[in-house]
Amino acid sequence: MKKNIKSGSDKLGLAGAVAATIAASVCCVGPIVLMGLGVSGAWIGSLSAFTPYRPVFMAVAFGLLGLAFYKTYTKPKPEECSPDSYCANPKSRRVEKAMLFVFSALIVGLLAFPYAAGYVFAENVKPQVKAAKVIPRVKTTQAILEVSNLTCVSCAIPVRRSLEKLDGVESAKVTMNPPQAIVLYDPARITPDELTVATTKAGYPSSVEKREMASR
């Protein structure tokens, strides 16, 4: 009684690839998704603990995805697929192949996002030398925050957004090396402590390294 064994292994491989992709992406994509949903909290920073294991999860995801393609495009043996079963139906197999390509695109997109973010969101992560050339406005103060948990380029996005949405912040730039946020703000409307609270709620604790009055 070996019916639909091949179809079952296809789905199992694809499901495993999706699960491994989620595990590989939770450290980089997770904080951005949570921020978009309005979820905040210092606990989000703990997702960065998955970063060292990202290459392992990626290898597993691509391996299982390759297995799914192999099983899908390999002609089933008679004992694996009876004539009246789902896998013997040409229409069903076309649907299965289409779904495989759809999920493959999603998997590749999620895995590639942290690397593509460095180009797509290049304006969010400026080298420190460029950030230092920003000409501040009158009556603003520049604060440099040391930010924790900046493990990938996409992590800079929620940090920048958490700062820019604050009333009184003129601009915010994030650097990966060193892991800092350079913020221009109006000291009459917001304090440095409020800046650090904002990044901490986004999952990236920070502390004020340097603060200086800006002038023309």
Domain span holding position 18:
5-120
72, 98, 120 — which closes off a domain? Answer: 120
Separation between Cα atoms, residue 108 and residue 10, nearest integer Å: 18
DSSP for 191-214, written as a single string: -HHHHHHHHHHTT--EEEEEEEE-
Say yes or no: 113 and 153 in one domain. no
Say yes or no: 116 and 129 in one domain. no
- pLDDT for the residue numbered 109: 86
Residue 151 belongs to domain with CATH number: 3.30.70.100
- pTM score: 0.59
120, 147, 162 — which closes off a domain? Answer: 120
- Environment class of residue 12 by beta-carbon count within 10 Å: exposed (0-12), middle (13-18) or buried (19+)? middle
Percent of the chain as helix, strand, coil, to the nearest 5: 60, 15, 30
Q: What is the pLDDT along the chain (216 residues), one digit of tens a residue?
A: 444 444 556 677 788 888 888 888 877 777 777 777 777 666 776 777 777 788 898 899 999 888 888 887 776 665 556 666 666 666 777 788 888 889 899 888 888 877 776 555 544 444 444 444 454 545 788 999 999 888 877 788 888 889 999 999 999 999 888 889 999 999 999 999 999 999 988 888 899 986 665 544
Say yes or no: 30 and 104 in one domain. yes
Q: Total structural domains in the chain?
A: 2
Say yes or no: 111 and 10 in one domain. yes
86, 120, 154 — which closes off a domain? Answer: 120
